[in-house]
């Protein structure tokens, strides 16, 4: 509980414990965001969600101690959790706890990169006034999607002004515009900020198959995102980087492939774009899947028809990047 309390209120932690060990109604839970459709209470909730936080902290310690250059906790990435409230399928915010832990134990400057389709609101607000934590979130615009925040005008507060960077992407953004945006902004702010460690949230719900979001990227993006983040870590902070998972709601066609790519990039087991999914895996899970499983790791080039508004979307995303870069560190 000591590490959790770096970010979460004591009373909230106690309510999470009680909610996970209470049979029947627990009216108090609702005022803490628990017992809702997004965050239903379940047995041993505190124990299970604490383990996720512990996994990310273990990854942090291993990287900062020099045992490994990078580490991955795909169970993590629960970026919507707030100090005293659960939100968006997230109870405890392992990313925020890890950053607070890095600040307290190692006095580290932390660059947080969030490429989930949903804005990384919990992490942003936890460090909104801290100039030693730079949060970068590329997400679908809040005009159409939860949590409705993450406008480029959310830049930080006080000494932290300029250290919150948001790129709200237009709905139906495709690979080219997504990667152009990412590749233009990440090196610029990373070199300007000069982090001691990078923490990434690798939600894969920007994929065109995802049922909850409106972005239109292919599997190609989930190789390039960790590849550039790792490259920046090697250039700026001795390779120190911790990767977490995040959202992803096509659990059959997207999540296994996307996180296999994240894992491959950080483990150095680079995967060819022509690679096929093992037949044994397809045979094992096809009978459980409600949709046909993808036979290849990457999506075929012509799988998704071009979006008619492609040029307009690309132009709008470029303008968003220009505005987002106005006040943040640049190098």
The pLDDT tens digits along the chain (331 residues) read 899 999 999 999 999 999 999 887 788 899 999 999 999 999 999 999 999 999 999 999 999 999 999 999 999 999 999 999 999 999 999 999 999 999 999 999 999 999 999 999 999 999 999 999 999 999 999 999 999 999 999 999 999 999 999 999 999 999 999 999 999 999 999 999 999 999 999 999 999 999 999 999 999 999 999 999 999 999 999 999 999 999 999 999 999 999 999 999 999 998 988 899 999 999 999 999 999 999 999 999 989 999 999 999 999 999 999 999 999 999 9
Q: Which two tokens stand for residue 162?
A: 């300029």
Distance between CA atoms of residues 313 and 254, nearest Å:
24
Residues 215/181, Cβ–Cβ less than 8 Å:
no
From 79, 80, 118, 207, active-site residue: 80
Distance between CA atoms of residues 202 and 111, nearest Å:
14
**pLDDT for the residue 315:** 98
90 phi and psi angles, rounded to 5 deg: -120, 125
Residue with tokens 């066609």: 253
| DSSP labels, 241-272 | EEEE------TTTTHHHHHHHHHHHHHT----
**pLDDT for the residue 24:** 72
Residue with tokens 């707030």: 82
Distance between CA atoms of residues 213 and 210, nearest Å:
6
Distance between CA atoms of residues 263 and 74, nearest Å:
9
Distance between CA atoms of residues 55 and 242, nearest Å:
11
Distance between CA atoms of residues 279 and 95, nearest Å:
35
Tell me whether residue 80 is one of the annotated catalytic residues: yes
Protein fold of 4-324: 3.40.800
Query: Per DSSP, what are the bridge partners of residue 72?
Result: 243
**pLDDT for the residue 198:** 99
Domain boundaries defined on the chain: 4-324
Measure CA of the first residue to CA of the last residue in the chain; give whole Å: 39
Residues 254/207, Cβ–Cβ less than 8 Å:
yes
Distance between CA atoms of residues 1 and 207, nearest Å:
35
**pLDDT for the residue 273:** 87
Strand ranges inside 158-227, DSSP E = 164-169, 197-201
- Global pTM value: 0.97
């Amino acid at each position: 509980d000591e590490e959790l309390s770096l970010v979460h209120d004591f009373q909230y932690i106690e309510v999470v414990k009680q909610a996970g060990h209470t049979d029947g109604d627990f009216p108090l839970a609702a005022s803490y965001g628990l017992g809702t459709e997004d965050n239903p209470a379940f047995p041993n909730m505190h124990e299970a969600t604490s383990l996720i936080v512990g996994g990310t902290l273990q990854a942090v310690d291993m990287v900062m101690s020099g045992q490994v250059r990078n580490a991955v906790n795909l169970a993590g990435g629960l970026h919507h959790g707030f100090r005293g409230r659960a939100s968006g399928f997230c109870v405890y915010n392992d990313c925020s706890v890890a950053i607070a832990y890095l600040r307290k134990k190692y006095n580290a400057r932390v660059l947080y990169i969030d490429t989930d389709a949903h804005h990384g609101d919990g992490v942003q607000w936890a460090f909104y006034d801290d100039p030693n934590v730079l949060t970068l979130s590329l997400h679908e615009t809040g005009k159409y999607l939860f949590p409705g925040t993450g406008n480029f005008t959310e830049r930080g507060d006080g000494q932290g002004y300029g250290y919150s960077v948001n790129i709200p992407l237009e709905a139906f953004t495709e690979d080219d515009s997504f990667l152009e945006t990412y590749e233009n902004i990440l090196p610029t702010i990373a070199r300007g900020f000069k982090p001691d460690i990078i923490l990434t949230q690798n939600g894969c719900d920007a994929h065109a198959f995802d049922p909850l979001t409106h972005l239109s990227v292919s599997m190609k993006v989930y190789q390039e995102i960790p590849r550039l983040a790792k490259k920046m870590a090697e250039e700026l902070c001795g390779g120190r980087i911790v990767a977490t998972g995040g959202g992803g709601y096509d659990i059959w066609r997207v999540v296994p492939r996307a996180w296999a790519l994240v894992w491959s990039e950080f483990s150095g087991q680079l995967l060819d774009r022509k690679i096929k999914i093992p037949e044994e895996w397809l045979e094992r899970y096809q009978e459980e899947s409600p949709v046909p499983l993808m036979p290849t790791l990457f999506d075929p080039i012509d799988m998704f028809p071009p979006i008619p508004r492609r040029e307009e979307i690309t132009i709008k995303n470029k303008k968003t990047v220009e505005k987002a870069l106005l006040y943040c560190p640049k190098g």
